[in-house]
Amino acid sequence: MTDDAAPASAAVPMISMRNVDKHFGELHVLRDIHLEVPRGQVV
């Protein structure tokens, strides 16, 4: 039998962004964006 549980460090993202908004002048292009990228993930 194998233990398929991920190590605790795998649960912590390498990159994490929350509640991101972006404007170009009056144009609101991103609203409340969330992004998490785990270690080793290619984006």
Residue spans of the domains in the chain: they are 12-37
pLDDT: is 1 or 19 the higher one? 19
The answer to whether residue 8 scores a pLDDT higher than 80 is no
Rg (CA), the chain: 16
Angle, CA 36 vertex, CA 12 and CA 13 arms, to 5°: 15
What mean pLDDT is predicted for residues 17-40?
97
Tokens representing residue 19 in the block: 């509640």
The answer to whether residue 25 scores a pLDDT higher than 60 is yes
> 14: alpha, beta or left, given left = phi > 0 and alpha = psi -120 to 50?
alpha
